Amino acid sequence: MSAQSTGKKAKRLRENDGMTSDLLDMGEVLGVSITCVSETGWFDSGILWDDVQRAGGPQTNQYDIAYTESNLAGFCALLDVEALDGRHSLYLLDSGWSTEWMDHAFAMTGVDSLLQDGEVNTLIVSHDHNDHFFGLESTLKRAPDITMYYPESLGEKSLQLLDGKDFSAIPGCPKNMFPHTGKRIPTRFGNRYYPQSGMAVVPFDVTIPLGVRGENVVYVKVKDKGIVVITGCGHPGLSAILSCPSTNFAGGEKLFGCYGGLHIAPMEQWEPHMQESIELMRKAGLQKIACNHCTGREWGRRALRAGLPVVRGTDKYREFNKVPVLADEADGTLYVGNGDTVSF
Ligand SMILES: [Fe+2]
Ligand SMILES: [Fe+2]
């Protein structure tokens, strides 16, 4: 994409460097395939809500809440990025919540051996919410030296967890007996990071319930298609997330697809203003919408009714006696679910 199309001068990026210039040529890749290792944050939203309310409500720090342990699962995705030269690089986005669930999900998707063999050597932490971060031990016991990106605002206890700490005296809180020894890249607000050409990690400064701050969003620019937006929870809001590429990257106004949580009606409490997000998606011109996790079922139903290109799932895990939550709708295929892969 030429610099003229943006009216500003595009600059070449330096890999793994947080540059703060205006519009950058972030490079391109041939494609990105995303495997949903698990989109199931937890099994029953009512149970989680009761746990949070009992501890004092959404302003309570997430490490001070006693959770119902049988209700916990976790978010994690495997990103397979194919560079222009055909070389593949694998990245893990988030590490889930329950270590038991994550061990199961890793085994089902082959991520366990990919970590052990060093084929996945980078973990991008979107944010340290329990369902994205508390399962860290499952990742670190297989790859303690993994390179890790995380928001610079990562909570103090979450940083202690990296070094090996046990918070599990409170039910559902994490422990990690495998201290992280790899490279750490705290992502500073205002900067952008480039694990490889054609791929950017952008940290958003956003205040999030349960004492969390900041979320990394991943953008991948696919040759001849456009930008693929990859989120954990989408806490910065759909408008900010979708408009970021056009104001940061040369050619970033052309969006192609998205994957991950949108944080719209995550507890199925639909409100009229949420309809705007459907229109926002349509205007963005996305051609493949693979949202799941904290995207409410109601959003999925409405997006499909509005004719948006929502990618359906296969409900693959049903045969493994562990069912996803959000994909478990009618025929079980409303969303891309656990074990499904979507290619952009
Ligand atoms: Fe989440
Ligand atoms: Fe979250």
The predicted-structure confidence for 34-86, as pLDDT tens digits, reads as follows 999 999 999 888 899 999 999 999 999 999 999 999 999 999 999 999 999 99
Residue 11 lies in a domain: no
Model pLDDT, residue 319: 55
**Angstrom distance (rounded) from CA 48 to CA 43:** 9
Model pLDDT, residue 331: 57
Residue 289 lies in a domain: yes
Instruction: Return the amino acid letter for 56.
Output: G
| Cβ atoms of residues 61 and 158 within 8 Å | no
Ligand nearest to the CA of 131: 1
Residue 10 lies in a domain: no
Residues 212-240 have a mean pLDDT of 98
Residue 12 lies in a domain: no
- The answer on pLDDT for 117 being more than 90 is yes
Compute the distance from residue 237 Cα to the ligand 1 centre, in Å. Answer: 13
Ligand nearest to the CA of 206: 2
Residue 163 lies in a domain: yes
Residues 131-158 have a mean pLDDT of 98
Compute the distance from residue 254 Cα to the ligand 2 centre, in Å. Answer: 27
Ligand nearest to the CA of 127: 2
Residues 248-261 have a mean pLDDT of 96
Residue 196 parent element (H or E) = strand 193-196
Residue 15 lies in a domain: no
**Angstrom distance (rounded) from CA 174 to CA 123:** 18
Compute the distance from residue 337 Cα to the ligand 2 centre, in Å. Answer: 18
Compute the distance from residue 233 Cα to the ligand 2 centre, in Å. Answer: 5
Compute the distance from residue 28 Cα to the ligand 2 centre, in Å. Answer: 29
Model pLDDT, residue 301: 87
Compute the distance from residue 129 Cα to the ligand 2 centre, in Å. Answer: 5
Q: Which residue from 79, 81, 38, 48 is spatially nearest to 196, judged by alpha carbons?
A: 81
Residues forming a β-bridge with 290: 259
The domain spanning residue 176 has which CATH number?
3.60.15.10
Q: Percent of the chain having pLDDT more than 70?
A: 89
Model pLDDT, residue 268: 79
Model pLDDT, residue 121: 94
Non-local CB neighbours of 201 within 8 Å, separated by 6+ positions = 124, 149, 187, 192, 193, 194, 195, 216, 217, 218
Residue 118 lies in a domain: yes
Compute the distance from residue 7 Cα to the ligand 1 centre, in Å. Answer: 37
Confidence of residue 327 (pLDDT cuts 50, 70, 90): very low
* Structure tokens that stand for 256 in this block: 């192609």
- Supply the DSSP string of 131-168, one letter for each residue: HHHTTHHHHHTT-TT-EEEEETT--HHHHHHHH-EE-T
Mean pLDDT of the chain: 90
Residues 157-186 have a mean pLDDT of 98
Domain that holds residue 310: 22-343
DSSP reduced 3-state for 268: coil
Ligand nearest to the CA of 213: 2
Compute the distance from residue 222 Cα to the ligand 2 centre, in Å. Answer: 26
| Cβ atoms of residues 207 and 28 within 8 Å | no
Number of domains the chain is built from: 1
**Angstrom distance (rounded) from CA 216 to CA 148:** 12
What is the CB-side half-sphere exposure of residue 207 using CA atoms within 13 A? 4
Confidence of residue 135 (pLDDT cuts 50, 70, 90): very high
Residues 147-170 have a mean pLDDT of 98
Residue 9 lies in a domain: no
Ligand nearest to the CA of 132: 1
Compute the distance from residue 194 Cα to the ligand 1 centre, in Å. Answer: 23
Task: Name the one residue in this structure whose structure tokens are 């490279």.
Answer: 183
Compute the distance from residue 211 Cα to the ligand 2 centre, in Å. Answer: 11
Ligand nearest to the CA of 295: 1
Q: Which long-range contacts (CB under 8 A, 24 or more apart) does 320-325 make?
A: 320/104, 320/108, 322/101, 322/104, 324/38, 324/39, 324/40, 325/39, 325/40, 325/41, 325/42, 325/43, 325/44, 325/45, 325/73
Compute the distance from residue 10 Cα to the ligand 2 centre, in Å. Answer: 33
Model pLDDT, residue 44: 86
Compute the distance from residue 6 Cα to the ligand 1 centre, in Å. Answer: 34
Lowest mean pLDDT among 22-26, 221-225, 297-301, 328-332: 328-332
Q: Percent of the chain having pLDDT more than 90?
A: 79
Alpha helical stretches, state H, 111-237: 111-116, 130-133, 136-140, 156-163
Residues 291-309 have a mean pLDDT of 91
Compute the distance from residue 324 Cα to the ligand 1 centre, in Å. Answer: 14
Ligand nearest to the CA of 266: 1
What is the CB-side half-sphere exposure of residue 69 using CA atoms within 13 A? 10
Ligand nearest to the CA of 235: 2
Query: Is 321 exposed, middle or buried, given 0-12, 13-18 or 19+ CB atoms closer than 10 A?
Result: exposed
Model pLDDT, residue 266: 84
Compute the distance from residue 183 Cα to the ligand 1 centre, in Å. Answer: 25
Confidence of residue 20 (pLDDT cuts 50, 70, 90): very low
Residues 148-159 have a mean pLDDT of 97
